[in-house]
Amino acid sequence: MNKILVTSPLLPPLEDFIPYLEDIWTRKWLTNNGYYHQKLEEALCEYLGIKYLSLFTNGTIPLITALQALHITGEVITTPFSFVATTHSLWWNGIKPVFVDIDPATCNIDPNKIEAAITPQTTAIMPVHVYGNPCDTARIQAIADKYGLKVIYDAAHAFGVTVNGKSVLEAGDMSTLSFHATKVFNTVEGGALVCRDEEMKQRIDYLKNFGFADEITIVAPGINGKMDEIRSAYGLLNLKQTENAIENRRRIARQYRAELQNVEGITCLNDIEGVYHNYAYFPIFVDEEKYGMTRDALYDRMKDNNVLGRRYFYPLISTFADYKGLNSASPENLPVATKIADSVICLPIYSGLSEHEVAQVVNIIKK
């Protein structure tokens, strides 16, 4: 059996990419807000149903830049159940992360536990739409408004997700996206920062270009977060096939759910009413007692059978050396996240995964 990986990148047809490359070669404008960069920003705004988006070179620099743009300091409330970049962005800004436990139904930060973590130093909340499942944005906004806090969503997984027809990226003060090769929409490496108005978009554009407002004026100590023309052109092409790729992912998710529903000790997340999901990941949760095997034993068995799942997100960010000393990082403060991190495996899901391959994965789990 060939190896089945957790994901496989969506690539635009090579023959379609060549004319774009030829055009870039003719233009001789490789980066710094070039033609394709502008085109991709416009196309993404249209596809995602949003107004202001700034392209970045990856999904981590927009997190760091959002914190800079909003002048966030002190403490920020966040989730330990994410990719490390979420918390690292706080550390890079000298901000103390305060971890709050998650809701088992969505794996997102639990709004019921946020208020208890607010202190006079708290300036913002940084939730994550984990696996592309939207957070309870209304509850989070109500808390933010009550305490005068900013909200920055790490929406790295939430490309194209809508709630009652509205983009999830509209929630909060800003949202960030990742276009890493493993994501639903990719530009090889890439990302974006979504904001609410023209003035902020301008500020973000300055910040991602060292703070240059013009040839001789620096408005802030910015960084280099720019996306180049080659990846912008690649993104324009990939965007054309993204909706179809999401449909294929939906088909795979349905098959997994149908075939796994009667497997004792294995549970999946459900779709949420009113949400257009992107099926960025397909997590299952292993109940060791009922399934009769630990999560890690199943993970190893899959690996031995050439199926490479991933334990997203294990270990929890709060267990890493630089964060585990924080009061909020103790497992007693994070019982749900700790349990979920110890039971999760993300199964292979990507546009080109066949029905037969999904059945092979399921058979290994059923054995």
- 276 DSSP β-pair partners: 162
The burial of 274, by beta-carbon neighbours within 10 Å (0-12 exposed, 13-18 middle, 19 or more buried), is given as exposed
Is residue 201 within a helix (H) or strand (E), and if so which, with residue range?
A: helix 198-207
To 5 degrees, how large is the angle CA 220–CA 215–CA 67? Answer: 20
Specify whether the backbone of 137 is left (phi greater than 0), alpha (psi in -120 to 50) or beta.
alpha
If one counts every other C-beta atom within 10 angstroms of the C-beta of residue 297, the result is 13
Query: Closer CB to ligand PLP, residue 249 or residue 266?
Result: 249
CA distance linking residue 296 with residue 189, whole number of Å: 30
Task: Give the nearer residue to ligand PLP in terms of CB position, either 59 or 222.
Answer: 59
**Bridge partners (DSSP) listed for residue 54:** 193
- Total chain residues near ligand PLP (CB under 6 A): 14
Amino acid at 228: D
Q: Does 128 bind ligand PLP (CB under 6 A)?
A: yes
Q: Positive or negative, the Cα torsion across 66, 72, 76, 77? A: negative
Least distance in angstroms from the C-beta of 280 to ligand PLP: 9
Choose, by CB under 6 A, the member of 36, 52, 83, 279 that binds ligand PLP: 83
Pair of tokens at residue 264: 């004792």
Shortest spacing between CB 228 and ligand PLP, in angstroms = 15
In angstroms, give the least distance from the CB of 156 to ligand PLP. Answer: 3
Contact positions with ligand PLP (CB under 6 A) in 153-172:
154, 156-157
Nearer to ligand PLP (CB atom), residue 153 or residue 276: 153
Nearest residue to ligand PLP on Cβ basis? 59
Interface pattern 43-82 for ligand PLP (x via CB under 6 A): ---------------xxx---------------------x
In the complex, minimum distance from the CB of residue 85 to ligand PLP, in angstroms, rounded to a whole number: 4
DSSP structural state of residue 180:
-
Q: How far is the CB of 229 from ligand PLP (least distance, A)?
A: 19
Task: Work out whether 134 is an interface residue with ligand PLP (CB under 6 A).
Answer: no
Cα 125 to the center of its chain, rounded Å: 16
- Per-position b or e across 210-227, b if 16+ CB within 10 A of its CB: ebbeeeeeeeeebbebbb
Q: Based on C-alpha coordinates, what's the Rg of the chain? A: 21
Q: Quick one: 156 or 200, whose CB is closer to ligand PLP? A: 156
Minimum separation from the CB atom of position 357 to ligand PLP (A): 24
Nearest CB to ligand PLP, comparing residues 108 and 338: 108
- Which is closer to ligand PLP, CB of 111 or CB of 132? 132
**191 forms part of the interface with ligand PLP (CB under 6 A):** yes
Binding site for ligand PLP (CB under 6 A): 58-60, 82-83, 85-86, 128, 154, 156-157, 178, 180, 191
